[in-house]
Amino acid sequence: MRVLMVSDVYFPRVNGVSTSIETFRRTLCGLGVDVRLVVPRYGDEAEQEGIIRVAGRSIPGDREDRLVGWRAMHRSVLEAAVDCDLIHVQTPFVAHYAGLKAARQLGLPVVATYHTLFEEYLQHYASFLPAGWLRRQARAFSRRQCNALDSVVVPSTAMQQRLQEYGVTVPLQVLPTGIPTGQFAQGDGAAFRYKYGILSTRPMALFVGRVAHEKNIGFLLDALVHARALRPDILLVIAGEGPAMDDLKARVKSLGLRDSVRFIGYLDRAQALPDCYAAADAFVFASRTETQGLVLLEAMAAGVPVIALADMGTIDILAPGRGALSPPPEPKAFGEVLGHYLNSPSTWSHLRQDAPIYAEEWSDNAMAARLAALYRQLAGRKIEQESPLTAAA
């Protein structure tokens, strides 16, 4: 079976969508699904078999992303989809319309993954517009796009419920992105601490992700003030880059946290990121708009307990209470939980033991098998609908 995935974002642009695409592409191959990609070109990326790059231009105020050419994307998707059985759209911009048009023109089923909760996301980047109007527009936009598809994949039950509230009527499949658990279990924490000059005895909390306003990192800084009252030598490492970096650095300074926070930028996922996870004593996360929260599972796979807010997509991961703590959504309470945990690690040793066991239940192989089954179901349904025997009956 051959599937064409279409996206407005992909590596070297690092984010959850790129990670999800690559995780499924790699794992589906072993399940008899050949995945072909049509994605943006960011620079001089080397040619890779099965990956078609479409030229684009930089977006003003956003040096990380690319806006692909409308005609070039449509042409590339149509040409790449000719011998495919299904089209899987990963983003709701040019890729969505190119994938949908090609699918309808070629008579192929088309599915999309709804990765981003735009209702919450847009408020951080268009704060000059009325919040209520923005929400209505985001909901109507998502409803129109989703209802034009044959099926929609959502990474959490919270996202499924939200889209149903929008009025999405096509089938919604709850199917999280799995993680390569073995990759994150092999990190060298001592090497990471040595490289960054972090004492082995210093308690280290870690955030990994895009340094953007919707990640609610400011909440973690406020919580750190309270955690530091209980554990003065705590260090918060923030791994990632993004548009909120300057604001957060200014906030670190204003809160008097310059000795307690380290920004280290993006890390290579092959080795540097697993090493970083392995160096941490706790993983902290406060996003209120996350559709899944893959980084929580990556940390757990490395044996690192998670302390995070249970909201939207993270609820599915955190609800069982395995390998994780979910403090109240208030900085003082969050910081005190973090501080008490770091002061009494033996009391919470069961979290470190259970975390990798629980993460294995979310493995890439398990989730890819479910996605492959959905592909075959949709492709089979399309063949059945077009069969002359079915029509005659």
Name 354's Cβ contacts closer than 8 Å, sequence gap at least 6: 322, 323
d(CA 202, CA 193): 10
Q: Which two tokens mark 287? A: 């996003």
* Structural domains of the chain in order of their starting residue, each with its CATH number: 2-178+363-392 (3.40.50.2000), 181-360 (3.40.50.2000)
Global pTM?
A: 0.78
Confidence category of residue 387, pLDDT binned at 50, 70, 90: low
Task: Give the pLDDT score at 207.
Answer: 98
Find the mean pLDDT for residues 81-95.
98
Q: Give the closest residue to 217 by CA, choosing from 177, 181, 257, 184.
A: 257
| Least confident among 218-227, 250-259, 282-291 | 282-291
Arithmetic mean of pLDDT over the chain: 93
User: Looking at per-residue confidence, does 119 or 16 come out higher?
Assistant: 16
In angstroms, the CA 39 to CA 52 distance is 6
Tell me if 283 sits within 8 A of 307, measured CB to CB. yes
CA-to-CA distance for 342 and 204, rounded, in angstroms?
Answer: 9
205 vs 223: CA distance, rounded Å: 12
Instruction: Decide if 318 contacts 296 (C-beta within 8 A).
Output: yes
**121-139 residue pLDDT tens:** 666 556 667 878 888 999 9
Q: What is the mean pLDDT of residues 6-21?
A: 93
> What's residue 289's pLDDT?
85
The region of weakest confidence among 22-36, 76-90, 273-287, 310-324 is 310-324
Indicate if the pLDDT at residue 388 is higher than 60.
no
391, pLDDT greater than 60? no
* Paired tokens of 277: 């996870």
Whether residue 274 has a cis bond before it, omega within 30° of 0: no
List, for residues 58-80, the tens digit of each pLDDT value: 888 788 899 999 999 999 999 99
Distances in whole angstroms, Cα of residue 368 to Cα of each of 162, 318, 362? 24, 22, 10
User: Does the pLDDT at position 382 exceed 70?
Assistant: no
For residue 384, pLDDT over 70 is answered with no
Buried b (16+ CB within 10 A) or exposed e, 226-247: bbbebbeebbbbbbbbbbbbee
pLDDT band at 390 (very low <50, low <70, confident <90, very high): very low
